[in-house]
Amino acid sequence: MATWVTHFRIAERILETDSSFDRLSFLVGNIGPDCGLVGADGRPEPPKTITHFKTENGISSDLFKKTYLTDPERYTSAEWSYLVGYYFHLITDEYWVRLTRAKKEEPIVKAIVGTPDYTRLVKTDWYGIDFEYLAKHPNHIFWTDFRHITSFADVLPFFPQGQTKKQIQNITSFYETHSFDPQHTYMYMSPEEVDDFIEVVLCGLQAKIQEVQRIHC
């Protein structure tokens, strides 16, 4: 799945041009599916099958949309903004799955696919890109908004009350306690690839933004 800063960057870009969303609710929604907390067995609860609306074909943003985005009058403006952010997160992850599948065909990545080190090695690059971006963008929405969130009422029924707030704290701590290593060499994914990915996703989301706005009218 895409990294948290990737989701933040997409949310920030949308908020720069669309003021119809409640800013903080939309921002939190964009990390909403990743608010399962790891239990004693090492697995997230709720599981990703629930939080990411997985079917036999993988993540289904369409299933989420049909379940939660057909009747906006059920929700407050803040709740609706959160749900739209959640929906966009799932769409972004669908794009990310396609990207990582394509990356696995590249010789340097193909060489480590299936090895015990695969996840660690590729995620070192993924999160290294996050750390670099945050270090170079002190006015990014993570610094100005997200890390200052002190409370958040869970919207979706499969999250226990307080769980999203806890994950907000976890994500904030993760990025505040890790720093960019200027000596890091990107091997499996580059910052430029993530930049390009974000542009592709934003282009694809334009029609989705218009669609949810029509539903909400």
Q: Are 172 and 146 in contact (CB under 8 A)?
A: yes
Residue 217 reports pLDDT greater than 90: no
Residue 145 reports pLDDT greater than 90: yes
Any alpha helices (H) in the chain, and if so which ranges?
Answer: 4-17, 23-29, 48-51, 61-68, 77-103, 107-110, 118-136, 141-144, 163-176, 191-216
Instruction: Of 33-42, 111-120, 182-191, give the lowest mean pLDDT range.
Output: 33-42
Q: Are 69 and 212 in contact (CB under 8 A)?
A: yes
Q: Give whole-number Cα distances, 38 to 47, 124, 137, in Å.
A: 9, 20, 30
Total number of domains in the chain: 1
pTM, two decimals, is 0.96
pLDDT tens digits for range 95-141? 999 999 999 999 999 999 999 999 999 999 999 999 999 999 999 99
Q: How far is CA 66 from the centre of its chain?
A: 20
Name the residue range of residue 151's domain.
4-216
Report pLDDT for 40: 79
Q: Are 104 and 51 in contact (CB under 8 A)?
A: no
Report pLDDT for 11: 98
